[in-house]
């Protein structure tokens, strides 16, 4: 099973952890405490587009508070995907998200990192249309300009959360296969590639992983 | 507070012989006790009274009514107020303590003080009450009361009666000390006489050829004349270590106390001590050395038991050591102590000054205040330097004995601790100060000096140090979190997750290591 490292970035209290928990456990906690350091979760995604291939996301959910800023580089380094989250009711959080995008583009080569801009707390807009402070068109325009994926979701209702991961999974999978194909093409024909390590199945029905 | 409650007074015998059979009321003399008894009953009408004395005041020995009557005539009968007593309500009253229904088998008793009803078990305390059922420690009679009342009574404490024994102790101690001093005086007297005698004998036989033989005999006679020796046959064991004498353990006499002691090297019960040493050790005693005799000529040794030598010389040695000038280490330590006091007070005042400053006008500190503050700061830094210098001197000075060496090392470690503890707040203060100066529009020369001194040993500014420290702290927190996550993943047999996490842990450790290297001495110890 292919594994991909995914990192969540964004201002504090925009709902990074909530999105992850919606994705991983399909649950929502109204009174979630702010994350300390970085939390780790993993979840598999089935890709319908590619013959139901299953891939696995290793998700690092970083803390948004300024204090933990120094931890982020460690987690976005070598990441395959980054989810940059902002709060649609907080214009400041989009600015923060943009600065994260800049940092990623600056520090990590953009060709091997799939970045997705996510506007969270859509449910608040549904309740009260005046609550929206960030226009969807602005954010979308920005995403297009920077070649990012873009979604607006609600972790509370679960709207759009699965789609993000689905789309990101497809994107990283395509990238990976293209890469390996290129590598295979460049490799001399005669080289025999023996897989020494048996791919481990993290299946609870078998006793030996 | 000393509270002394006397033993419960139940009455006392008075000697019949002393008083005679005199009626206490009318002084009429009776022939014997029986007659007096009858007289009292008939003339003074005590017979009814004594029959209903029952209850509180009944003495244990009812047989001797005469005595009881005598007592009760002297003292007015004690009648306790009962109006406050709770009424017994058959089948309904309950014990106020254990809430059991009261009947004859449980016992039904009013607490004499609070008047509430109790079962027998819960009304077993006693306190002194006056007739109004109030607590009266002096004139009250012992009355039954409940535990609660007894606990609440005035001046009660949980550790019982307290009696000051200090005076008794002091008296005992004084007499002991006096004994000791007398003993010391006696020993000193004997010692002086012995030494004087020996020097005299030495002088007498200085020039004669057969001197040494006669000298020994004469000294031996002298020794025995000063203190009577305990006869050998009475001593079966050493009087100090109680080891039995035998062929290997010989008997010796202490020349000062005359007791028989052993000469065991292990217990050091007695030693041959050259008298020259002893004369030097006890120079304050009135020993008359003949002027024509050199002290060094005296080669005589006398045997003294460890008890006597301690008695005679321990205090003298102690006094002598006290009188000696302090070693350099201690002299330096005294100076160091003074400097430390200066540093502490200066830090305090500087801290107060800076906070005051920041309250008053955070935006524009005026130049004179800043100058004053930086002067104070410089003074403080100077005293730190002085402290450090003294510490180095202590470290370099030579210790006279192992004890001093230990003290020396302790002082040095304490000093480094002190510097660490007091330098840190100072650094915070200075950074505060520096930022203030930077914020003021015109950079004064102080600012540059501050910026320079603000740099620590490994070329990090205070800001950087702070930043790195937070980073290190965050990393350590994360390390701890990841360790927990690994443990959890392993428990749930999610080994893939565990390997991913372990990789991350390695990374974290690496980065933490780098940061601590960067921080160097400024890191967390």
Residue range B201-245, pLDDT digits in tens: 888 887 777 777 788 888 888 888 888 888 888 888 888 888 888
- For an interface test with B, the pick among A66, A70, A80, A208 (most B C-beta atoms closer than 10 Å) comes out as A70
A42 touches chain B (CB under 8 A): yes
Provide the chain A residues 17-36 that lie in CB contact (below 8 A) with chain B.
36
pLDDT of residue A206: 57
> Nearest-CA distance from A127 to chain B in Å?
37
Instruction: Please check whether residue A2 is in contact with residue A77, taking contact to mean a CB–CB distance below 8 angstroms.
Output: no
Pairing of strands B109-110, B117-118: antiparallel
A74 touches chain B (CB under 8 A): yes
In a domain, A191, yes or no: no
In order, the DSSP letters of B197-238 are HHHHHHHHTSS-TTHHHHHHHHHHHHHHHHSPPPPGGG-SB-
> Nearest-CA distance from A132 to chain B in Å?
34
Closest CA to B224 of B184, B180, B268, B255: B255
Q: Which two tokens stand for residue B82?
A: 């009962």
Instruction: Please check whether residue B408 is in contact with residue B395, taking contact to mean a CB–CB distance below 8 angstroms.
Output: yes
- For an interface test with B, the pick among A7, A71, A200 (most B C-beta atoms closer than 10 Å) comes out as A71
- For an interface test with B, the pick among A5, A35, A38 (most B C-beta atoms closer than 10 Å) comes out as A38
Cβ of B493 within 8 Å of Cβ of A209? The answer is yes
pLDDT of residue B448: 41
Q: How many domains in chain A?
A: 1
Alpha helices of B440-461 — where are they, by DSSP H? 445-453
Give every CB contact of residue B392 below 8 A, 6+ residues apart in sequence. none
Q: How many CB pairs under 8 A join A and B?
A: 46
pLDDT value at B444 more than 50: no
At B388-404, the pLDDT tens digits run 888 888 888 888 788 88
Report chain B residues whose CB lies below 8 A from the CB of A71.
474-475, 478
At B17-29, the pLDDT tens digits run 445 678 877 877 7
pLDDT of residue B456: 46
A202 touches chain B (CB under 8 A): yes
> Nearest-CA distance from B470 to chain A in Å?
8
pTM over 0.90: no
C-alpha–C-alpha distance, residues A85 and A150, integer Å: 10
Which one of A67, A74, A209 has the shortest CB-CB distance to B470?
A67
C-alpha–C-alpha distance, residues A54 and A169, integer Å: 9
Report chain A residues whose CB lies below 8 A from the CB of B507.
74
In a domain, A18, yes or no: yes
> Nearest-CA distance from B431 to chain A in Å?
21
A58 touches chain B (CB under 8 A): yes
Report chain B residues whose CB lies below 8 A from the CB of A58.
497, 500
pLDDT of residue B462: 78
- For an interface test with A, the pick among B466, B470, B472, B474 (most A C-beta atoms closer than 10 Å) comes out as B474
Instruction: Please check whether residue B122 is in contact with residue B97, taking contact to mean a CB–CB distance below 8 angstroms.
Output: yes
Q: Which two tokens stand for residue B496?
A: 């893939």
pLDDT value at B525 more than 50: no
Q: What is the dihedral of CA A174, A178, A184, A187, to 10 degrees?
A: -140
At B129-162, the pLDDT tens digits run 888 888 887 788 888 888 888 888 777 777 776 7
Cβ of A40 within 8 Å of Cβ of B497? The answer is yes
pLDDT of residue A141: 93
pLDDT of residue B433: 62
Cβ of B497 within 8 Å of Cβ of A209? The answer is no
A95 touches chain B (CB under 8 A): no
What does the longest C-alpha to C-alpha distance in chain A come to?
65
Closest CA to A82 of A63, A108, A52, A54: A108
Strand partners, B272: B303
Q: What is the dihedral of CA B365, B370, B372, B373, to 10 degrees?
A: 100
A209 touches chain B (CB under 8 A): yes
> Nearest-CA distance from A137 to chain B in Å?
37
Residue A43's closest chain B neighbor by CA?
A: B497
Closest CA to B345 of B415, B446, B422: B422
> Residue A94: which CATH number?
3.40.50.300
In a domain, A150, yes or no: yes
Query: What percentage of chain B reaches a pLDDT higher than 90?
Result: 7
In a domain, A55, yes or no: yes
Cβ of A209 within 8 Å of Cβ of B474? The answer is no
Report chain A residues whose CB lies below 8 A from the CB of B503.
none
In a domain, A206, yes or no: no
**B343-380 CB burial, b ≥16 within 10 A, e <16:** beebbeebeebbeebeeeeeeebeeebbeebbebbeeb
Cβ of A37 within 8 Å of Cβ of B508? The answer is no
Closest CA to B387 of B415, B427, B429: B415
3-state DSSP of B68-123: HHHHHHHCCCCCCCCCCCCCCCCCCCECCCCCCECCCCCCCEECCCCCCEECHHHC
C-alpha–C-alpha distance, residues B147 and B119, integer Å: 12
Neighbours of A115 (CB within 10 A): 25
Closest CA to B113 of B91, B80, B138, B155: B80
Instruction: Please check whether residue A5 is in contact with residue A62, taking contact to mean a CB–CB distance below 8 angstroms.
Output: no
Q: Taking the CA atoms of chain A, what radius of gyration do you get in angstroms?
A: 18
Instruction: Please check whether residue B412 is in contact with residue B394, taking contact to mean a CB–CB distance below 8 angstroms.
Output: yes
In a domain, A141, yes or no: yes
C-alpha–C-alpha distance, residues B498 and B508, integer Å: 15
Instruction: Please check whether residue B95 is in contact with residue B122, taking contact to mean a CB–CB distance below 8 angstroms.
Output: yes
Q: What angle do CA B475, B479, B480 make, to 5 degrees?
A: 120
- For an interface test with A, the pick among B464, B499, B500 (most A C-beta atoms closer than 10 Å) comes out as B500
Cα dihedral across residues A65, A71, A76, A79: positive or negative: negative
Q: Which domain holds residue A145?
A: 2-186
At B465-524, the pLDDT tens digits run 888 888 888 898 899 999 999 999 999 888 888 998 999 999 999 988 888 888 876 666
Cβ of A37 within 8 Å of Cβ of B478? The answer is yes
In a domain, A133, yes or no: yes
Helix (H) or strand (E) holding A10: strand A2-10
Q: What is the ipTM of this complex?
A: 0.80
Report chain B residues whose CB lies below 8 A from the CB of A67.
470, 474
Cα B227 to the chain's mean position, in Å? 42
In a domain, A207, yes or no: no
Residue A75's closest chain B neighbor by CA?
A: B504
Report chain A residues whose CB lies below 8 A from the CB of B501.
40
pLDDT value at A21 more than 90: yes
Q: Mean pLDDT throughout B46-75?
A: 50
Which one of B474, B501, B511 has the shortest CB-CB distance to A37?
B474
C-alpha–C-alpha distance, residues A55 and A61, integer Å: 18
Closest CA to B343 of B404, B391, B393: B391
In order, the DSSP letters of B134-154 are -B-TTTPEEEEE-HHHHHHST
Q: Which two tokens stand for residue B512?
A: 């933490």
At A82-111, the pLDDT tens digits run 999 999 999 999 999 999 999 998 888 656
Strand partners, A62: A38
C-alpha–C-alpha distance, residues B495 and B491, integer Å: 9
pLDDT of residue B372: 77
Cβ of A37 within 8 Å of Cβ of B485? The answer is no
């Amino acid at each position: 099973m292919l594994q991909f490292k995914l990192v969540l970035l964004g201002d504090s209290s925009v709902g990074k952890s909530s999105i992850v928990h919606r994705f991983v456990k399909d649950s929502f906690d109204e009174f979630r405490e702010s994350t300390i350091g970085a939390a780790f979760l993993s979840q598999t995604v089935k890709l319908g587009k590619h013959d139901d291939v299953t891939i696995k996301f290793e998700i690092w959910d970083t803390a948004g508070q300024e204090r933990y800023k120094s931890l982020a580089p460690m987690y976005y380094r070598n990441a395959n995907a980054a989810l940059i989250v902002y709060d649609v009711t907080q214009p400041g959080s989009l600015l923060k998200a943009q600065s994260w995008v800049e940092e990623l583009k600056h520090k990590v080569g953009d060709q091997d990192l799939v970045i997705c801009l996510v506007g969270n707390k859509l449910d608040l807009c549904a309740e009260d249309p005046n609550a929206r402070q960030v226009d969807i068109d602005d954010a979308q325009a920005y995403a297009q300009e920077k070649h990012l994926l873009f979604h607006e979701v609600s972790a509370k209702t679960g709207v759009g959360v699965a789609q993000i991961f689905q789309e990101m999974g497809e994107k990283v999978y395509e990238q990976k296969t293209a890469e390996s194909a290129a590598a295979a093409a460049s490799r001399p024909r005669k080289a025999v590639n023996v897989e020494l390590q048996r791919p481990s199945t993290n299946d609870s029905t078998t006793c030996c992983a | 507070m000393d509270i002394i409650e006397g033993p419960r007074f139940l009455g006392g015998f008075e000697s019949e012989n002393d008083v005679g059979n005199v009626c206490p009321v009318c002084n009429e003399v009776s022939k014997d006790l029986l007659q007096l008894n009858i007289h009292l009953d008939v003339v003074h009408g005590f017979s009814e009274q004594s029959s209903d004395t029952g209850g509180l005041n009944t003495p244990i020995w009812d047989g001797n009514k005469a005595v009881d009557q005598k007592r009760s005539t002297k003292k007015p009968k004690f009648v306790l107020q009962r109006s406050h007593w709770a009424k017994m309500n058959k089948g309904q009253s309950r014990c106020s303590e254990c809430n059991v229904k009261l009947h004859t088998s449980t016992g039904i008793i009013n607490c004499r003080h609070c008047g509430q009803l109790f079962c027998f078990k819960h009304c077993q305390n006693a306190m002194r009450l006056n007739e109004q059922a109030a607590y009266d420690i002096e004139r009250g009679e012992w009355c039954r009361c409940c535990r609660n009342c007894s606990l609440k009574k005035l001046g009660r404490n949980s550790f019982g009666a307290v009696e000051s024994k200090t005076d008794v102790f002091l008296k005992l101690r004084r007499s002991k000390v006096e004994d000791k001093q007398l003993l010391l005086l006696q020993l000193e007297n004997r010692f002086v006489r012995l030494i004087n005698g020996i020097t005299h004998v030495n002088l007498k036989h200085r020039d004669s050829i057969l001197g040494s033989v006669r000298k020994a005999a004469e000294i031996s006679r002298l020794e025995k004349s000063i203190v009577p020796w305990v006869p050998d046959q009475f001593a079966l064991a050493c009087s100090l270590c109680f080891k039995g004498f035998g062929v290997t353990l010989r008997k010796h006499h202490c020349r000062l106390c005359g007791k028989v002691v052993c000469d065991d090297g292990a217990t050091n019960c007695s030693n041959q001590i050259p008298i020259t040493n002893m004369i030097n050790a006890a120079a304050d005693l009135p020993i008359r050395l003949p002027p024509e005799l050199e002290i060094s000529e005296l080669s005589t040794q006398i045997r003294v038991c460890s008890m006597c030598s301690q008695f005679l010389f321990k205090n003298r040695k102690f006094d002598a050591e006290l009188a000696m000038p302090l070693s350099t280490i201690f002299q330096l330590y005294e100076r160091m102590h003074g400097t430390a006091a200066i540093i502490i007070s200066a830090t305090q005042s500087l801290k107060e000054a800076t906070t005051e400053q920041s309250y008053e006008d955070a935006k524009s500190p005026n130049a004179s205040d800043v100058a004053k503050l930086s002067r104070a700061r410089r003074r403080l830094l100077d005293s730190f330097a002085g402290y450090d210098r003294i510490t180095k001197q202590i470290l370099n000075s030579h210790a006279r004995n192992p004890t001093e060496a230990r003290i020396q090392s302790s002082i040095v470690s304490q000093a480094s601790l002190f510097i660490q503890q007091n330098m840190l707040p100072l650094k915070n203060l200075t950074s505060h100060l520096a930022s203030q100066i930077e914020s003021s529009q015109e950079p004064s020369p102080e600012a540059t000096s501050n910026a320079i001194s603000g740099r620590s040993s490994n070329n990090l500014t205070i800001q950087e140090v702070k930043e790195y420290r937070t980073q290190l702290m965050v990393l350590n927190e994360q390390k701890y979190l990841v360790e927990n996550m690994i443990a959890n993943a392993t428990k749930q047999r999610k080994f893939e997750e565990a390997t991913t996490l372990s990789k991350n842990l390695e990374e974290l450790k690496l980065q933490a290591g780098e940061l601590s290297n960067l921080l160097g001495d400024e890191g967390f110890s």
